[in-house]
Amino acid sequence: MPHWLSGGIIVGRVEIMKKFIRQYRLVRDALMERNLTGDDQMILYSMFSDSTLGISLNVDIQTYEDIYRNTSNVWFYLGYAMKSETP
């Protein structure tokens, strides 16, 4: 089953998000040094691919399964999940 990363919605605790941002910037800079940067999805993919450009990363991502079987577009799954949890 393929996993998708998107720059659209990122949710996390403040201390984790700060670590994530530092790591994101490290990967962005490493890609720019190699003239390989394109967009946020390329950076995210590079962060969580098998080869992370020799950068030590310590923030993991949590993937989500589609529990909303009637959702017409799983691309928006996290947004739909957050909306359904809002009182």
pLDDT in the model for residue 11: 75
| Number of domains within the chain | 1
pLDDT of the residue at 73: 65
Question: What is the C-alpha to C-alpha distance for residues 87 and 18, in angstroms, rounded to an integer?
Answer: 27
Q: How far apart are CA 47 and CA 79, in angstroms?
A: 22
Residue 42 in any domain: the answer is: yes
Q: pLDDT at position 42, please?
A: 84
- At 44-58, the pLDDT tens digits run 888 877 676 777 788
Ramachandran class of 72: left when φ > 0, alpha when ψ lies in -120 to 50, beta otherwise: alpha
Does residue 76 lie in a domain region?
yes
Asked whether the predicted pLDDT for residue 10 surpasses 70, the reply is yes
Q: Which domain holds residue 30?
A: 14-85
Asked if residue 2 is part of any domain, the answer here is no
Task: Record the pTM.
Answer: 0.67
Residue 87 has pLDDT above 80, yes or no: no
Q: Higher pLDDT residue, 4 or 9?
A: 9
Determine the residue type at 59. V
DSSP state, 74? G
Report DSSP state, residue 62: -
